Chain A
Amino acid sequence: MGLATSGKLPKPLTWLLNYSRSYSLWMFQWGLACCAIEMGAALAGPRYDVMRLGVIPLPASPRQSDLIVISGTVTDKMAPAIKRLYEQMPDPKYVISMGSCANCGGPYWDSYSVTKGVDQIIPVDVYVPGCPPRPEAFVEGIVMLQKRIRNEDLAPRWRGESWEPIVVA
C-alpha cells in the first residue's frame, strides 16, 4: 500500500529507477511474420544493433521480460496464446506493436482468420507502422519508449489507468 497507490517516491529515487529501467529492457520477442525478420535484422544485424540501446532480446521466458514486441500478423488461433503470455509478464510491462498487421490487420483487413489489431487483446504502448517497418523505425520505437519510461510516473499505471499510446511517424 502507501507507496504503490500514491506513487510518491522521492524524486531522485524515481529518476534512478526510471533511468535504470529504460536502459535494461528485457525484450520478449514474439516474431510472427515478415516483421520478425526485420526485427531480427534490427537485433542481430550489425548495421542496426538494437542491443547498444540496452535492449536484451534473450529472456528465457516472459516472466523475466519487461517488453514484448508483437511483430507480425496475429491470427485468431494465435491470439489466446499472446494474451496468456502477456499476462505472465511481471509489471511494469510494455508492448510494442510492430507492423500494420499487428496494428490493425494490415493487408488482411478483410480476412476471416486474422485479428484486426493486437490492441483488441492487450494494451499497446508503441505502434510502429509499416509493412514491414524498416529496422530504423523499430529502433525509433524503442527510443521513444525509453524516453517515456525515463519520465514516467508509475502510479497511474499501478492504479490501472489507461495511457496514450505512442505512434512512430
Chain B
Amino acid sequence: MVLSMGPQHPATHGTLRLVVRLDGERVVAADPVIGYMHRGYEKLTEFRTYPQITTLVNRIDWLSSFANEVPFVHGAERLMEIEAPPRAEYIRTTLTELARIATFLLFLGEMGLQVGAITPPFYGFRDREYVLNLIEGATGGRFHPNFNRIGGLKEDLPWGWVAECRQAMQKVLDSCDEFEDLVVGNPIFEQRTRSIGIIPGSVGASYGVSGSNLRASGVDWDLRRDGEPYLSYRDLDWKVWTHPDGDSFARYWVRLQETRESARMVLQLVDGLPSGPVMAKVPRIVKVPPGEIWVNTENPLGEMGYYLVSKGATGPFRVKIRSASFGNTSILPWLLRGCYVPDIITILASLYFILGDIDR
C-alpha cells in the first residue's frame, strides 16, 4: 500500500510530504517530497542589499530567527574587515542562545504531543513566552528581531533587561526539571522512543546530519566549540552534551540538556557583559569589497552556513545557504525503512526540522 502523508499533516511540522510504501504496518520505502515551502531565498538575496537580507534570512528557520542572522552578518563583516565591539558580540551570543532555548522548549513540548501527551505542549508554549518576552524587550520583535547590523547591533539592551533575563533563565531551568520529571521518566514515552529510529554516528555524519541529532548519536562535535571561533563562546564555561544511543529518546534527552546548558550560558553572559558601544564605525551605505567567504555556525537545528560571493556592490552577487534541516531530513529514506507506521511520527518529531529550513 502507498500512503501519502502530507503535505498538510500536523505531525510533519509544516508541509513535508512523505510517500510511504507499506507492507502491512512495516515501511518498505519512504520518499520525502519537499519544495512546498520553497520561497527562492538564494535568488531573492541577489536582488536585495545587505541590510535587507538580514530581514529575509530571519525567516529561513523561523523558530530561531536570530541565529540565522549571525552567520550572514559575520560573513559580511569578515569581508569588510570590520569587527563588532565586544559588547555587541556578547549580546549577540545571548540572543542566539535565547533563540536556541525558545526553539528547544517548543521541541520539548511538541515531542510529547507526538507520542500522545497533550500537557507538554502547553508547558512548552507557556515557558517559551518568557523567552520571547525577553527577545521582544531587547529587539522589539517577538519572532523576527532583525536586530543585527553589519558592524554591531541596532541598539543597546534596555534598562532592567539583565535582571529580568536572570529571572527568566531561572524559570527555564525550572521548566527543564519539570520536563525531566514529566516526560523523560514516563514509561509510555520511553516505550515509544527507546531504540526507535537509531542513527549510528558514522551513518548520520555521512548523510550530513548535524547538530543535536548527531550529538545524540555519540559524535562529540559542536561548531560553537570546534568550528572557527565566532561570537563569545570561548569565554564561557560550558559542556557539549552527547548520548551514545542515537535513538529518538537520545535526541530528546540531548536537547533537554542543551536547553539547560544554554540557560546557564545566558546567565554567565549577562554576568560578564562588557561595557562600551554596540556598533562599530561603518559607512552609511554598506558596500562589501569583492571576495568570497564561507561562514558556518551552530544553529539550534544543526550546522548553518552561508557562502557569500561579493563583487563590491551594495548587495551580494550570490549566496549559497547551507541549512541544517535539509541535511537532517536527507537521512529519512534510510531511517524510516523497516520501522512501523506510528514510529514515523516519533522519528519525524525527534529529528526536529523546520520546513522553511529544508526548502528555503
Chain A: residues with CB nearer than 8 A to chain B?
29-34, 36-38, 40-41, 44-47, 73, 75, 77-78, 81, 85, 107-108, 110-114, 131-132, 134
A75 to B106, CA, bound (A): 25
Contact between chains at B126 and A46 (CB < 8 Å)? yes
Q: Across the interface, do B143 and A108 meet the contact criterion of CB distance under 8 Å? A: no
B144–A46 touching, CB < 8 Å: no
Q: A36-B14, A75-B36, A114-B39 are in contact. Are A107 and B56 (CB under 8 A)?
A: yes
Q: List 26 A-B contacts (CB under 8 A).
A: A31-B14, A32-B14, A33-B14, A33-B37, A33-B356, A34-B144, A37-B62, A37-B63, A38-B142, A44-B122, A45-B129, A46-B122, A47-B125, A47-B126, A47-B129, A77-B35, A78-B7, A81-B7, A107-B55, A107-B56, A108-B44, A110-B44, A110-B47, A111-B43, A112-B43, A114-B39
Give the residue name and chain of the A residue nearest to B43 (CB). A112
Q: Does B225 contact A (CB under 8 A)?
A: no
State which of A40, A111, A112, A131 has its C-beta within 8 Å of the C-beta of B144: A131
Query: Residue B40 at the A interface, CB < 8 A?
Result: yes
Residues A44 and B121 in contact in the complex (CB < 8 Å), given A34-B144, A36-B14, A78-B7 = yes
Q: Mark B122-158, 1 if CB is under 8 A from A, else 0.
A: 1001101100000000000011100000000000000
Show the binding face of B for A, using Cβ within 8 Å: 7-8, 10, 14-15, 35-40, 43-44, 47, 55-56, 59, 62-63, 106, 121-122, 125-126, 128-129, 142-144, 355-356
Interchain CB contact under 8 A, A30 and B40 = no
The distance in angstroms between the C-alpha atoms of A119 and B44, with both chains bound, is 23
Bound together, the chains give a CA A73 to CA B35 distance in angstroms of 12
Q: From B126, which residue of chain A is reached at the shortest CB distance?
A: A46
Which residues of A have CB within 8 Å of B62?
33-34, 37
A30 CB to closest chain B CB (Å) equals 6
Determine the residue in chain B with the shortest Cβ distance to A111: B40
CA distance A47 to B132 in the complex (A): 12
Alpha-carbon gap, A46 to B355, bound state (A): 26
Give every chain A residue within 8 A of B356 (Cβ-Cβ).
33-34
B8 to chain A: which residues have CB within 8 Å?
30, 81, 85
The answer on a CB contact under 8 Å between B39 and A75 is yes
**Within the complex, which residue of B37, B55, B142 is in contact with A75, where a contact is CB–CB below 8 Å?**
B37
CA of A108 to CA of B47, assembled, Å: 11
A131: which B residues are within 8 A, CB to CB? 144
- Which residue of chain A has its CB nearest to the CB of B125? A45
Using Cβ atoms and an 8 Å threshold, which residues of chain B touch A44? 121-122, 125
- B143:A34 contact, CB within 8 angstroms: yes
For A38, list chain B residues within 8 Å (CB): 142-143
Q: Verify B39–A113 contact, CB threshold 8 A.
A: yes
Closest-CB distance, B15 to chain A (whole angstroms): 6
The answer to whether A46 touches B125 (Cβ under 8 A) is: yes
A40: chain B residues within 8 A (beta carbon): 125
Closest to B17 in A: A81
CA distance A112 to B36 in the complex (A): 13
In the complex, chain A residues whose CB is within 8 Å of the CB of B10: 29, 31
Contact B14 A111 (CB under 8 A): no
A108 and B125 form a contact (CB under 8 A): no
**A45-B129, A73-B39, A85-B8 known; 14 other A-B pairs, CB under 8 Å?**
A31-B14, A32-B14, A33-B14, A33-B356, A34-B144, A37-B62, A46-B122, A46-B126, A47-B129, A78-B7, A78-B15, A107-B55, A111-B40, A113-B40
A111 to B129 CA separation, bound complex (whole angstroms)? 32
Contact A132 B144 (CB under 8 A): yes
Q: Nearest Cβ distance between residue A164 and chain B, in whole angstroms? A: 29
Contact between B59 and A34, CB atoms less than 8 A apart: yes
Residues of A within 8 A of B63 (CB): 37
CB distance from B134 to the nearest CB of A (A): 15
Which among B35, B39, B43 has the highest number of chain A CB atoms within 10 Å? Answer: B39
Closest CB in chain B relative to A112 CB, distance in Å = 5
The smallest beta-carbon distance between B173 and chain A, in angstroms, is 20
B106 nearest in chain A by CB position: A37
User: How long is the Cα–Cα vector from A53 to B128 in the complex, in angstroms?
Assistant: 23
- Closest chain-A Cβ to B36's Cβ sits at a distance in Å of 5
CB-CB under 8 A from A31, the residues of chain B are 10, 14
Nearest CB on B from A104, distance (A): 14
* A113 contact set on B, CB distance < 8 A: 38-40
Q: How far is the CA of A77 from the CA of B44 in the complex (A)?
A: 18
* Docked complex Cα distance between A138 and B258 (Å): 32
CA gap between A143 and B264 in the complex, in Å: 41
Q: Which 6 A-B pairs have the closest CB atoms?
A: A34-B62, A45-B125, A111-B40, A44-B125, A78-B36, A113-B40
A147–chain B nearest beta-carbon distance, Å: 26
**In the complex, chain A residues whose CB is within 8 Å of the CB of B35:** 75, 77
Alpha-carbon separation in the docked complex, A131 to B47 (Å): 20
